[in-house]
Amino acid sequence: QVQLVESGGGLVQAGGSLRLSCAASGRTFSSYAMGWFRQAPGKEREFVAAISRSGINKEYADPVKGRFTISRDNAKNTVYLQMNTLKPEDTAVYYCAARNLFRSRSPSDYNYWGQGTQVTVSS
């Protein structure tokens, strides 16, 4: 069992940057692949980024490649999402998720979810 607490969301103008953090409980954080997903009103929850348990392997959804960076610090039980060059279409609730297996692009593969944090990008 792992609990996830997100922080760092807010209102940013287009072109700005924001860093999201997700703090996990427990001693087995390194056992989980981690992912970031986002969901806009009326839309399906979509994959943003994922990172392997070791942090060696990362992958990104095409719309955020080159702009977003996922990272983790297993000693701090924390995963991060650095978001640069934000666009209005990035506006969504962002969720941190954990999976006790290797990384995945599918929301249904993740067992644990944070409460979400709102990111709003103005034009």
Per-range mean pLDDT, top range of 18-27, 87-96, 99-108: 87-96
pLDDT (0 to 100) of residue 2: 87
pLDDT (0 to 100) of residue 102: 83
- Residues 13-60 have pLDDT tens digits of 999 999 999 999 977 888 899 999 999 999 999 999 999 999 999 999
pLDDT (0 to 100) of residue 65: 98
Alpha carbon distance 90, 118 (integer Å): 10
**Quick one: DSSP state of residue 112?**
E
